[in-house]
Chain A
Amino acid sequence: MLPDDLSRELGPKLGDRLLGVDPFPGTAGRVRFKPDAALDLFRAVRDDLKFGHLSMVGGIDWVDHREVFYVAWSDEIKQYLLLSADLPAESAHIESASSIWPSANWHERETWELVDIAFDHHPDLRHLLLPDGYTFHPLLRSFKLHEPEELEVKQRRV
């Protein structure tokens, strides 16, 4: 499958919400889309293009905006497909893909806690890797490391 095939399949379904399809090494192509087209695109990719498995979800902090990307795998044509959308940094949120691909559940929890991209209608948006109660998002560019605070050293009870 080539990028031209992808835009021919997806163009009529999404209209101007499909921003473009680029070639991307190792995949069938990279589909850029507007965030409000998320569910329609996911459904078309899974049901019409036969990408039955969502391999990963990730996010990138580009300082002026954030990018969320999805990697889908097709057992029919043995190819990956990359989907990506740009989100505004001040309110980065997109519809959850876990109703289409259940494997998106944990990937979206990880993306939310590390780069602060919220997923609407996610069934269980809790911390996955970090302990509960962390209020910061460590993979943002604005996050700074610091020397740990002085903690009391435990002594043996005698």
Chain B
Amino acid sequence: MGHLTTPAAQTAPPRPAAADFKLEGELPMATQAAVPFLELETLRAKEFIPAAREALSSLIAEQGQAKVIRPVFNWAGRNSLFPLHWGLACCAIEFAAAFGARWDAERFGIVPRSSPRQCDLMIVNGTVTWKVAHKLITLYEQMPEPKWVIAMGNCATGGGPFRTAYSVVPGVDKLVPVDIYIAGCPPRPEAMLDGILKLEELIRERKE
């Protein structure tokens, strides 16, 4: 039963000192803020809000609003992508598997929601027919801004094996703007998660 016990040599690696932690480059820190950020944590709740407001307004006055608010907004948005919980064809099986125990997409903050009003990501997982096209556009327009679209699989990307059929839309980018295309028939859950991580890179660079 030796393998069940923890060997003495396998101790946890030493935690890095607080000075070794580096904030991501996109989060600008004020060089001379009115109240240093580290001191905010020590304040009591009643004092926190006016102090935080003062710190933030001085930061905005120093660096400009777009440079301060936008990275925070992007950081929050890309770490809580809520895809629309729907399936069109067999890619939806892989979509469902990605949220199961084995791949566990929720560790990236991806939580499928059943209402388009609560979503900012539409994963088109399957063959889009002309009969369902206007329903897809309605769902897309019901989603609040900002919103993104991932075309998952060959059918959603370009019609797939049904490209010459009379009833199939040759690529969902003819209906709604698409940000990420995932190849595969169907793509594996890893490929879908990789597409979502690539979308997060896109959101990180969003400036508008």
Q: Which 8 A-B pairs have the closest CB atoms?
A: A156-B177, A148-B170, A145-B164, A151-B174, A154-B177, A153-B173, A131-B131, A131-B130
- By a CB distance below 8 angstroms, the chain A residues around B177 are 154-157
Q: Is the CB of B166 within 8 A of A151?
A: no
Any chain B CB within 8 A of the CB of A129? yes
Give the Cβ gap from B133 to chain A, nearest Cβ, in Å: 8
CA separation between A129 and B163, bound complex, in Å?
18
Which residue from chain A places its CB closest to the CB of B175 in the assembled complex?
Answer: A154
Q: Which range contains the number of A residues in contact with the other chain?
A: 10 to 19
Q: Which range contains the number of B residues in contact with the other chain?
A: 10 to 19
- By a CB distance below 8 angstroms, the chain B residues around A153 are 171, 173-174
Any chain B CB within 8 A of the CB of A24? no
Return the CB mask of A114-139 against B: 1 if under 8 Å, else 0. 00000000000000011100101010
Give the Cβ gap from A113 to chain B, nearest Cβ, in Å: 11
Q: Which residues of B (156-189) have their CB < 8 Å from a CB of A?
A: 159, 163-167, 170-171, 173-179
Interface, chain A (partner B; CB < 8 A): 129-131, 134, 136, 138, 143, 145-148, 151-158
- By a CB distance below 8 angstroms, the chain B residues around A155 are 177
Give the Cβ gap from A13 to chain B, nearest Cβ, in Å: 42
Q: Is the CB of A152 within 8 A of B165?
A: no
Which residue from chain B places its CB closest to the CB of A155 in the assembled complex?
Answer: B177
- By a CB distance below 8 angstroms, the chain B residues around A143 are 166
